[in-house]
Structure 1
Amino acid sequence: MSEIKPLLPLAAATGISIIGLGTIIPSLPFYATSLGAGPDVAAMIFSVFSAASLLSAPFWGMMSDKVGRKPVMVMAVFFTVLSYLWMAHAGSLWELYASRIMAGLTAGWMAASQAYVADVTSPENRAKGLGLLGASFGIGFTVGPIIGAIATHGDHVNFALPAYIAAGFAVTSLLVTLFFVKEPKRHHEVAGRHRLQLLKDPDLARLIVLYFLVFLMFTGVEGIFALWAKANFGLGPSQVGYFLGYSGIIMILVQGGIGRAVAKRGEGKVTVFAICSLLGAFVSAPFITGPWGILIPMGLFALAMGLHNPAMQSLLSRLAPAGRSGGVMGVAQSTMSMARIAGPAWAGAVFTHFGADAPFYLGALLLIPIIIYGMLATGRAQQAVADRVDGVQVEA
């Protein structure tokens, strides 16, 4: 408990930030279409944030290694507040997208918070710490979409209201970070190690590739879910928000027990099981015949990502060289951002040209070789971690 206690303020600040983000997510594609975007362009509203984050995340990870986790988190959240205010006042499609680009360029709090967990936890407790951080994401993506659903309820949606609410939550997160999050003492910079050199480790490189492939599939669905729900069942931003809130509840329940799952099975097996659950979500979605059936694939998606994220982040941090957890998390964040660029793009294009269910059929086919690759990559990484531990014990 002594290692987890310092994480509580961080988890609170993160959860509050994610509530704000979750508030705008259900309405974003509808906001874009109201300003003249087609389905393929509307799906890209998620990609532009990620493209900007791709450029900035390694920088923020490196800066957090040098100047500290807390300063990076404070600065990033401050600019996030400004991006939400700009979004609320967007009067054209380019302004809406530009506000999300600004948010992506200053999203350094993600990598810094993950590195913070690695700083204050031992390897055996890291999955539990990342699970706590993940649970805060789950809470945010439960409460946020529900608030967004309430804010967009009615025939005449005010798209500025969710953005103002998100800005309020971001300000609250900023205050919590300033007054309650303490700078960890364990991180330090290892001179002469550029972040790209980290990928010379084949075990780490294989995990990064797997991280990209899984998020490529997941973010594809994330980008077109609202459009798919509207095309098949006539749902609007309010109904989409409630379904996203349901998936957040599943993630909270899953990530609350991730530490026990990893302790019993190991990060590698948990990761592979998560990808299999993702396959189940892709397979089941096209066969849904009514709105309530959405609970099945949405539950499987939440199960998959609730298990996958903390397990993979734990395994990545355990493979990281001493003092470079921030750099590794920055690379992982950039990898996820690459997937978040390409995911909505491929899914939106397939949706537009081949029909609403086509992205799920294609995704299911692609996930089969990804599962096989995942078994190989995580198995070798888990063995490398075990060999490292055995080597330390022999030296002792």
Structure 2
Amino acid sequence: MSANGESAEDGALFSSKVIRSVFIVLLLDLLGFTLILPLLPAILDHYAHTGDGVYHTLQSVVDFFREAVGIPLEKKYNSVLFGGLIGSLFSLLQFLASPVTGALSDRRGRRPLLILTTLGLMSSYAVWAVSRSFGTFLLFRVVAGICKGNVSLCTAVVADLPCPKARNRGMALIGMAFSLGFTVGPLLGAYFAVGSEAAENVFYQTPALLALAFSAADLLFIWLALPETLTVDVKAKSSGLGDSGDLLNPLSLFRFSAVSRVEDPPTDERMQKLRVLGLVYFSYLFLFSGLEFTLSFLTHQRFHFTSMQQGKMFFFIGVIMALIQGGYARRIKPGRHIGAVRMAISALIPAFIIIGLSWNTTTLYIGLALYSFAAAIVVPCLSTLVSDHGTANQKGTVMGILRSLGALARALGPVVCSSVYWIAGAQTCFLLTSVTFLVPLALLRTVGRLKEE
């Protein structure tokens, strides 16, 4: 075999090793991260009954919002709203931390930053395990929000790969890790919480220790098996954090200003395409996360779903998404990602119309199946498209900014959408928001002729 043939084969083997490693790293990370999801209502209820001062201060904020938009005074809705408040805090911290983490990884390498953020997550889970007050519990969420850099760093690792097909396969498997993590993790959290409920005051301790164990296993795997994808010469060319304002100013993030401040900046056309893709990503997640959040309101209000029934519903969604990402999404050929995103977002319009108008669970699940198919495609494809932009020493910055825009969308979307839901009604909310998906579709038209390199 020729030297070039051997080099190509070695490159393919290295890419496959990187993709497999990233999948395992992210799956372990997400299994630990999602253990808390089914426990959050019980944790909030626990602190409500202990008379915790910090809890009741934040409860007054939730009550103000509930009264302002007309949400009924019911325990189920309070748990969803309080959980949404904590989720928004986490997302806002991610909005601030992700660009900085990505830029640092361009300078120091992916592995060192992954090790650092994983150590930070381990410390946050340790705080959760010993927390006995709501203030300590919030400290756990704050530390986790700042240190949760594994997602943007893993996408940067995949973006480092030179082969477009390998990048596409890697982004699809990152999506699959998300689907599996958000499907299996909550089940594990609920199971181990029930198993430890004899210790009434610390029923969440076993899931917290399990999250710590997943994070420790993740750290060990990163240390032993994940190769560094950022070469020494590329790291040497990185400008590090550069102008910190470009990484902290929201307007600069939407403009991807940090990407253009290099010696040999991208062309104006490529920068414009990158900015439009960022807007598509933000607008899509803003609308999608809002409807995803209000789905719990709709199923409880219209179909009287219990927590177990809602858990089964999200399990159904997760399984379909994992199947689509493991099958169709990772086989999308370079040059066809914009078409795939356009098809998926178009499918979300009838999906949310069906869900909004559903009169029985059969109709609901038809809409959810279409919703799951579309949701499995958009983020991996947009991540692949964005990963093509920026120089080799800017991939961490690019993917960190993209992750930051997504976090901001997830912080704002649920607040806006739940307000529309309770002020205008469920049907109006779902019909209006489904039509609003025409906005990211219109933005996609401006880059419809984008040639993927």
Which range, TM-score by smaller chain? 0.7 to 0.9
1:164-313 → structure 2 map (5 Å cutoff): 164-186=209-231, 187-188=234-235, 189-191=237-239, 196-198=257-259, 201-256=271-326, 257-263=328-334, 266-291=336-361, 293-313=363-383
After TM superposition, give the deviation of residue 255 of structure 1 in Å. Answer: 1.3
* 1:80–1:170 CA contact under 8 A, matched in 2: yes
Displacement after TM superposition at 1:159 (Å): 4.8
How far did residue 114 of structure 1 move? Answer: 0.6
Distance 1:241 1:152 in 2: 15
- How far the C-alpha of 1:183 sits from its partner, in A, is 1.4
1:178 maps to a residue whose letter is W
Equivalent-residue separation in structure 2 for 1:299 and 1:9 (angstroms)? 30
Instruction: Report the alpha carbon displacement of residue 340 of structure 1 after superposing the two structures with TM.
Output: 1.0
Residue 90 of structure 1, CA deviation? 4.8
Structure 1 position 309, deviation (Å): 1.3
Report the residue type matching 1:79 in the other structure. G
Residues 360 and 168 of structure 1, relative CA distance in 2, 3 Å threshold: farther
Q: Does 1:75 align with 2:147?
A: no
Specify the alignment match of 1:392 in structure 2. none
Q: Is the 8 A contact 1:27 1:237 kept in 2?
A: no
1:12 aligns with 2:57: no
SS of the aligned residue for 1:324 comes to helix
Q: Report the more deviating stretch, 88-97 or 42-51.
A: 88-97
Alignment-derived partner of residue 393 in structure 1: none
Distance in 2 of aligned mates of 1:266 and 1:128: 13
The match for 1:142 is 183
Please give the alpha-carbon distance, in whole angstroms, between the structure 1 residues aligned to 2:379 and 2:356.
Answer: 25
Contact 2:168-2:332 within 8 A present in 1 as well: no
SS at match of 1:5: helix
Alignment RMSD (CA, Å)? 2.8
Confirm whether residue 21 of structure 1 aligns to residue 21 of structure 2.
no
Alignment of 1:124-135 (within 5 A): 124-135=165-176
Q: Which has the larger radius of gyration?
A: 2
Query: Separation in 1 of the partners of 2:135 and 2:166?
Result: 44
Q: Which string of whole-angstrom CA distances, capped at 9 and with x for unpartnered residues, describes residues 146-182 of structure 1?
A: 323434669x894555444333322222221122112
**Matched-pair contact (CA < 8 Å) for 2:300–2:306:** yes
1:323-338 equivalences in 2 (<5 Å): 323-338=393-408
> Secondary structure of the equivalent of 1:120?
coil
Kindly indicate whether residue 362 of structure 2 is the aligned counterpart of residue 318 of structure 1. Answer: no
- Tell me the TM-score normalised to structure 1 length: 0.86
Which whole-Å CA distance do the structure 1 matches of 2:426 and 2:413 have between them? Answer: 15
Give the unaligned 5+ runs of structure 2. 1-11, 49-58, 60-77, 247-256, 261-267
Could you tell me how far apart the structure 1 residues matched to 2:258 and 2:37 are?
35
Report the CA distance shift for 1:51/1:235 in structure 2 as closer, same or farther (over 3 A): same
1:375 aligns with 2:445: yes
Aligned length: 381
Deviates most, 174-183 or 145-154: 145-154
Amino acid aligned to 2:185: G
Equivalent residue letter for 1:133: I
Structure 1 residues 63, 247: CA separation in 2 closer, same or farther (over 3 Å shift)?
same
The answer for unaligned runs of 5 or more in structure 1 is: 390-396
Cα distance in 2 between the residues matched to 1:30 and 1:311: 36
Give the Å deviation of 1:24.
2.1
How far 1:259 sits from its partner (Å)? 3.0
**Contact kept? 1:134, 1:309, Cα under 8 Å:** yes
> TM-score normalised to the size of structure 2?
0.76
SS of the residue corresponding to residue 205 of structure 1 reads helix
Quote the offset at 1:275 in angstroms. Answer: 1.0
| CA shift in 2, pair 1:88/1:276, >3 Å | farther
Compared CA separation, residues 280 and 115, structure 1 to 2 (3 A):
same
TM-superposed CA distance for 1:59, in Å, is 0.6
In structure 2, relative to structure 1, the CA distance for the partners of 1:275 and 1:122 (3 Å cut) is same
1:203–1:109 Cα change, 3 Å: same
Q: C-alpha distance in 2, partners of 1:133/1:8?
A: 10
